[in-house]
Amino acid sequence: MLWLKRAIKWVSILFLALLLIYAVVRPYQLYTDSQIEGDRAPYLQMQSANAMSVVWNTAEPEKGVVRYGRSPDDLDMEIRENEIAEAHEIRLTQLQAASRYYYAVGNTEAMKYGGSKEDWFMTAPVTGAKNEAVRLWVIGDSGQPGKIQHLVRDAMKTWVKSNPREGKPFLNQWLALGDNAYRSGTNQQYQVALFDAYPDILKNIALWPAYGNHDARRWTFFDIFSLPEQAESGGVLSGTEHYYSFDYANIHYVMLDSQDSDREADGEMLNWLQRDLQANQQDWLIVAFHHPPYSKGSHDSDDEGDSRGRLVEMRRYVLPVLEKYGVDLVLSGHSHGYERSYLMDCHYGDSSQFSDKNIVSPGVEGNNTDFIKVKGAHSGAVYVVAGASAKVDRAPMNHPAMAISMMKAGSLVIDIDGNYLVARYINTEAEIEDEFTIEKIKDDSWKKYSNKSYTGCQ
């Protein structure tokens, strides 16, 4: 038996050696995969009423320059960086609200990008403005490059072109619901899945991303995105790029981290969320995060083990806070399909506990598509899972909270004008697969559309 003992000894030594090699190689791989290298065209971040950040990368260190102005033929303003670098970010400030600016990017020797009528951005309207028509594009789990991703992108462009808004840009805002680059969120994967896929949109529209589980496999996410941890775009400062908020006209947006941040009721993220929502004065509240609280798609929100309990914890701990402050729309990804709820409230258990008592309103004439509500606590919200902007998975798709469930690729185009919101799920053929509306009113007439079985939180 001596040979067996020696064999076990050498196998143990080999196993420990492999663990040691992995412990050394893995951090190095994470580091190298996360490095931002090479040229990258300018893209926009942290839009506000009077500021915009322009971000780009160069293969060699240089002193970056942004020239900008109100006409593409007269870029009469300029900002230069103080130091040479490969990663560049210049914050343009003291801009006029709700205004179009043109820009060019380069170095102290020459401009390399932009300078044409196609290179523009719009500042946000004055915070609180009630008469601004806003068009928002929402993509989820968009990080798988290829045919589906491109069809979804092009279908949005086709639909928007066929439904223009006079005097308005093709989009005002752009949200991504996490898993923005598969499979590991490396810099190269981001290049293909984001920068190569949406170059013409990135140069005009600032992207607001949520943090997904695939983004969390490398450090690239926080190197690429510049997010308003100091409340640069409104809201209450969070002190972290993991979660943040911002304002646009009469809309308050909150982007939460369902992946890495503490989801407990007494954790830092929810303490910040309470402060932020207490301070919010906007008419609309839209919240986005990656892991859906309700889903029977490629992930099961009933399963305590799914995603290590993140779906359950978001439902159990986060939703009571959101509904207390009158959230209107909650957007998530992670499940690779499309699911859309009733106007609902106070459902924090598993799907077997959902009933008519959680439906605030079945919609006008019971159609489950046109909802009327008031502003205030527990007035009902619509929950949407839109994680099929690049891939679709087979799944049961039978959560009872969902009025609509489908395994079809697409993205959301949402129009908000005053007290009226209309959301459309656009498929790869530029057709509307689902459409719902939310109208917010101030009198008691909403009650005639309410569900008599709704009992509130008990």
pLDDT digits (tens, 9 = 90+) for 313-351: 999 999 999 999 999 999 999 999 999 999 999 999 999
Q: Is the pLDDT of residue 445 over 60?
A: yes
Nearest partner of 177 among 224, 131, 143, 128, judged by Cα: 143
Q: Is the pLDDT of residue 23 over 60?
A: no
| pLDDT score for 29 | 47
| pLDDT score for 37 | 80
Q: Which of 81-90, 122-131, 443-452 has the lowest mean pLDDT?
A: 443-452
Q: Is the pLDDT of residue 359 over 60?
A: yes
- Whether residue 371 contacts residue 361, with contact meaning beta carbons closer than 8 Å, is answered with yes
Q: Share the mean pLDDT of the chain.
A: 93
- Whether residue 338 contacts residue 434, with contact meaning beta carbons closer than 8 Å, is answered with yes
Q: Is the pLDDT of residue 17 over 60?
A: no
> What is the mean predicted confidence (pLDDT) over 284-298?
98
Phi–psi pair at 213, nearest 5 degrees: -65, -35
What CA–CA distances, in Å, run from 39 to 56, 65, 187, 191, 195? 8, 15, 12, 10, 11
The percent of residues in the chain predicted with pLDDT above 70, rounded, is 92
The structure tokens listed for 320 are 């009571």
3-state DSSP of the chain: CHHHHHHHHHHHHHHHHHHHHHHHHHHHHHHHHHCCCCCEEEEEECCCCCCEEEEEEEEEEECEEEEEECECCECCEEEECCCCEEEEEEEECCCCCCCEEEEEEEECCCEEEECCCCCEEECCCCCCCCCCEEEEEEECCCCCCCHHHHHHHHHHHHHHHHCCCCCCCCCCEEEECCCCCCCCCCHHHHHHHHHCCCHHHHCCCCEEECCCCCHHHCCHHHHHCCCCCCCECECCCCCCCCCEEEEECCEEEEECCCCCCCCCCCCHHHHHHHHHHHHCCCCEEEEECCCCCCCECCCECCCCCHHHHHHHHHHHHHHHHHHHCCCCEEEECCCCCEEEECEECCCCCCHHHCCHHHEEECCHHHCCCEEEECCCCCCCEEEEEECCCCCCCCCCCCCCCEEEEECCCEEEEEEEECCEEEEEEEECCCCEEEEEEEEECCCHHHHHHCCCCCCCCC
β-pairing, 100-107 vs 359-361, is: unpaired
Nearest-angstrom CA–CA distance, 99 and 122: 5
| pLDDT score for 294 | 98
> What is the mean predicted confidence (pLDDT) over 277-294?
98
The DSSP bridge partners found for residue 43 are: 55
Residue 21: pLDDT band (50, 70, 90) is low
Residue 2: pLDDT band (50, 70, 90) is low
Nearest-angstrom CA–CA distance, 439 and 335: 28
Nearest-angstrom CA–CA distance, 66 and 195: 20
- Whether residue 69 contacts residue 106, with contact meaning beta carbons closer than 8 Å, is answered with no
> What is the mean predicted confidence (pLDDT) over 141-168?
97
pLDDT digits (tens, 9 = 90+) for 378-404: 999 999 999 999 999 999 999 999 999
> What is the mean predicted confidence (pLDDT) over 31-41?
72
| pLDDT score for 85 | 96
Residue 261: pLDDT band (50, 70, 90) is very high
- What distance lies between CA 319 and its chain's CA centroid? 17
Rg, C-alpha atoms of the chain = 23
> What is the mean predicted confidence (pLDDT) over 80-99?
98
Q: Is the peptide bond before 183 cis (omega within 30 degrees of 0)?
A: yes
- Whether residue 43 contacts residue 195, with contact meaning beta carbons closer than 8 Å, is answered with yes
What CA–CA distances, in Å, run from 6 to 12, 14, 20, 91? 10, 12, 21, 65
Nearest partner of 84 among 66, 119, 108, 110, judged by Cα: 108
- Torsion region of 141: left, alpha or beta (phi above 0 gives left; psi -120 to 50 gives alpha): left
Nearest-angstrom CA–CA distance, 440 and 379: 10
| pLDDT score for 9 | 60
| pLDDT score for 447 | 84
- Whether residue 327 contacts residue 273, with contact meaning beta carbons closer than 8 Å, is answered with no
pTM of the model: 0.94
| pLDDT score for 7 | 57
> What is the mean predicted confidence (pLDDT) over 228-244?
98
> What is the mean predicted confidence (pLDDT) over 57-67?
97
Residue 131: pLDDT band (50, 70, 90) is confident
Nearest-angstrom CA–CA distance, 141 and 146: 13
Q: Is the pLDDT of residue 25 over 60?
A: no
| pLDDT score for 365 | 83
| pLDDT score for 31 | 45
Q: Is the pLDDT of residue 16 over 90?
A: no
Domain 133-449 homologous superfamily, CATH: Metallo-dependent phosphatases (3.60.21.10)
Where does residue 383 rank: exposed (0-12), middle (13-18), buried (19+ CB within 10 A)? buried
> What is the mean predicted confidence (pLDDT) over 175-191?
97
Nearest-angstrom CA–CA distance, 107 and 84: 10
Q: Is the pLDDT of residue 241 over 50?
A: yes
Nearest-angstrom CA–CA distance, 175 and 332: 11
Residue 8: pLDDT band (50, 70, 90) is low
Domain boundaries, the chain: 40-122, 133-449
Q: Of 3.40.50.720, 2.60.40.1930, 3.40.640.10, 2.60.40.10, which CATH number belongs to 40-122? A: 2.60.40.10
* Residue in the block written with tokens 């109208």: 439
